[in-house]
Amino acid sequence: MQRAANSSAQSGPHMGSRHRLLAPMAYSLFFVFGSITSLNDVLMPKLRELFQLNYAEMTLVQFCFFASYALISIPASYLIDSLGYLRSVTVGLTLMAAGCLLFIPAAGLSAFPAFLGALFVIAAGVTVVQVTANPLVIDLGAPANTPRRLTLAHACNSIGTVIAPYIGATLILGTASARANTATPASVISSAYAAIAILLLVVAGTVWSMRNHFTQQKVERQSALAAFELLRRPTVRRGVIAMFLYVGAEVAIGSLLVNYLILQSTLHLTPESAGKHLAFYWGGLLIGRLCGLLVLRFVSAPALVIGTGVGALLLVMLSMGSTGPLAGWALLAVGLCNSVMFPLIFDLTSRGLGEKTSEGSGLICVAIAGGAFVPLLTGRLADLTSLSTALMVPALCYGGIAAFGYYVYRRQSPYTPPVP
Q: In CATH, what number is assigned to the domain containing residue 373? A: 1.20.1250.20
CA 319 to the chain's CA centroid: 23
**Structure confidence at residue 224 (pLDDT):** 55
Terminal-residue alpha carbon distance, the chain: 28
Question: Nearest to residue 316, comparing CAs of 376, 370, 256, 360?
Answer: 256
Domain-located, residue 125: yes
Whether 219 is in a domain gets the answer no
Radius of gyration (C-alpha) of the chain in whole angstroms = 21
Instruction: Give me the pLDDT at residue 85, please.
Output: 85
Q: Would you say residue 218 lies in a domain?
A: no
Q: Which amino acid is at 20?
A: R
pTM, entire model: 0.75
Structural domain includes residue 318: yes
- Is the CB of residue 239 less than 8 Å from the CB of residue 360? no
For residue range 125-142, what is the model confidence (pLDDT) as tens digits? 999 998 888 888 877 777
Quote the CA–CA distance of 345 and 401 in Å, as a whole number.
9
DSSP state letters, 357-396: HHHHHHHHHHGGGHHHHHHHHHHHHHHHS-HHHHTHHHHH
Within 10 Å of residue 324's Cβ, how many Cβ atoms? 12
Helix (H) or strand (E) holding 195: helix 186-209
HEC per residue, 205-222: HHHHHCCCCCCCCCCCCC
Q: How far apart are CA 134 and CA 368, in angstroms?
A: 13
The CA distances from residue 113 to 123, 128, 193, 301, in Å, are 15, 23, 17, 41
SS3 (DSSP) at 299: coil
Nearest to 42 by CA among 296, 339, 247, 254: 254
Predicted local confidence at residue 3, as pLDDT: 38
Contact yes or no for 35/339 (Cβ under 8 A): no
Report the pLDDT value the prediction gives residue 73, as an integer from 0 to 100: 80
Question: What pLDDT does residue 129 have?
Answer: 92
Query: Could you tell me the maximum CA-CA distance found in the chain, to the nearest angstrom?
Result: 64
- Position 416 in a domain: no
For residues 256 and 111, the answer to whether their CB atoms sit within 8 Å is: no
pLDDT of residue 11: 42
Burial of 8 (0-12, 13-18, 19+ CB in 10 A): exposed
Cα 121 to Cα 317: distance, rounded to the nearest angstrom: 36
* 419 assigned to some structural domain: no
- Name the residue range of residue 350's domain: 2-213+227-411
The domain tally of the chain equals 1
420 burial via Cβ count (<10 Å: 0-12, 13-18, 19+): exposed
Q: State residue 370's pLDDT score.
A: 93
Other beta carbons within 10 Å of 321: 11
- Residue 296 has φ and ψ, to the nearest 5°, of -70, -10
Does some domain include residue 142? yes
Q: What's the confidence (pLDDT) of residue 405?
A: 95
- Is 373 within a domain? yes
pLDDT at 7: 41
Residues in CB range of 274: below 8 A, 6 or more apart: 257, 258, 259, 261, 262, 267
Q: 29, exposed or middle or buried, with CB in 10 Å at 0-12, 13-18, 19+?
A: buried
pLDDT beneath 50: ranges in the chain: 1-15, 175-177, 180-183, 414-420
